[in-house]
Amino acid sequence: MNCRICNYSKLISTINLGKQPWGNNFLEKSEIGKEPYYPLEVEFCPKCSCSQLNFTVPKEIMFSNHTYLSGMTTTLDSHFESLALKVHEQFFQNSENLSALDIGSNDGTQLKHYSNLGYEILGVESSKNIVDIANRNGIDTRCAFFNEEFVNHINKKFDVINASGIFFHLEELHSVTKGIKKALKDNGVFVVQFIYLKKMIENYAFDQIYHEHLLYYNLRPLETLLKLHGLEIFDSEELPIHGGSCIAYVSHKGSRKKSNRLKKMIQEEDLKKLHLPETYITYANELQDIKNQNLSFLESCRKKNKTVFGMGAPVKGNTLLNFFGIDNNLVSKLVEINPLRKGLFSPGSHLEVVMENELSKPPDVYYVLAWNFKEEILKNNYELIKDGTEFYFPVEVKN
């Protein structure tokens, strides 16, 4: 395939996690063993330095009906609240009749905070079951895939357009970016929140590679994409959410002055050699050591007859379970708080998802797949830890 951003044809294979099922395809009992597998391989474009999957599971399969809810953790809710306040105070504090559009708005958690600040809001979400939840919660949400055609249909412009954890999902990458250009007011701000590839590399957070994540952004390739459509990044910051995220603040080209913070972040990317394929090839080779360390730990638990449950059933956890080859010989089940996943089974590893509040007793060890919420998990389980339950984090985030 050609590069998703610049259409260059000579991509370089860097990280190969084998064939895996789509990570959000949680299974009914009758579906176990029938799930399809797809290549999960990252390629690097030497022209624009974009890392990307070389295979696309159609968006209609992945995003028309899923079980992810953004409002399930206080960590993410607090992050969305502080970000909405920051955007408002920095760019629109003295303005009136403000409006905000959220692309891939999920259950409306981000938009709720813009609504609380007085914005007229609109969410666009492709999963009908999640749209129903958002609308029941009073968040005006359309069931659609956002693209240029959608913008032409609604014929409306917004002060703020938000894309939280969605801009690397986009099969229709250029149509979506054209749509954002059309829908953004002249002085508007497009807020892109994405898992930062730089932090993925530093933290060995390879499990954030999965089929929904078609692209893996540093600032340089994102800037290349935006410039193709008359947009540009004018500021950026790194935040700890999801183990290390980047937020890029985007405007129409030439309408806002570029910050020194943005320039420093791009310089640091270059110092880390994130524009070179060798960086990612070396990273891929090092993943085998992490796999061996994790399997050694779980095997030692098995030999000591310790019960091990997975903490959380995030999509990224399925990348990790399947790449490591973990099944119910090493981890008995997955423990969740998201009711949409209750009684389902993880794709590939076939571990049953049970609700945390329905456990009769805790395990000896929690193998924490939702490691990006470490602080919240440890705080919520203080008594369990005091009573001897061990919490093991397969990915340790470096500050």
Residue 54 domain flag: no
What is the reported pLDDT for 165? 80
Distance CA(316)–CA(266), nearest Å, equals: 27
Q: What is the pLDDT of residues 268-283, one digit of tens each?
A: 999 999 999 999 999 9
Q: What count of Cα atoms within 13 Å lies in the side-chain half-sphere of residue 71?
A: 16
What is the reported pLDDT for 394? 95
What is the number of structural domains in the chain? Answer: 2
Residue 32 domain flag: no
Phi, psi values for residue 23, rounded to 5°: -65, -20
What is the reported pLDDT for 64? 64
Share of the chain above pLDDT 90, in %: 87
Whether the per-residue pLDDT at 122 is higher than 90: the answer is yes
Query: Which whole number is the average pLDDT over 205-218?
Result: 96
What is the reported pLDDT for 156? 96
pLDDT class of 398 with cuts at 50, 70, 90: confident
- Here the CATH number for the domain that contains residue 353 is 3.40.50.720
Residue 196 domain flag: yes
User: If you write DSSP's letter for every residue of 350-383 in order, what string do you get?
Assistant: -PBEEEGGG-SS--SEEEES-GGGHHHHHHHTHH
Residues 330, 248 share a domain: no
Structure tokens at 298: 């779980």
Residues 311, 223 share a domain: no
Residues 375, 242 share a domain: no
Whether the per-residue pLDDT at 336 is higher than 90: the answer is yes
- Here the CATH number for the domain that contains residue 75 is 3.40.50.150
CB distance 317 to 370 below 8 Å? yes
Residues 211, 131 share a domain: yes
Whether the per-residue pLDDT at 190 is higher than 90: the answer is yes
Query: Which whole number is the average pLDDT over 372-398?
Result: 92
Phi, psi values for residue 5, rounded to 5°: -95, -55
The owner of tokens 């559009």 is 101
Distance CA(171)–CA(146), nearest Å, equals: 11
**Judging by DSSP bridges, how do beta strands 353-355 and 37-44 pair with one another?**
unpaired
Residue 14 domain flag: no
Domain that includes residue 311, residue range: 305-392
pLDDT class of 397 with cuts at 50, 70, 90: confident
Distance CA(337)–CA(114), nearest Å, equals: 26
Residue 181 domain flag: yes
Residues 240, 95 share a domain: yes
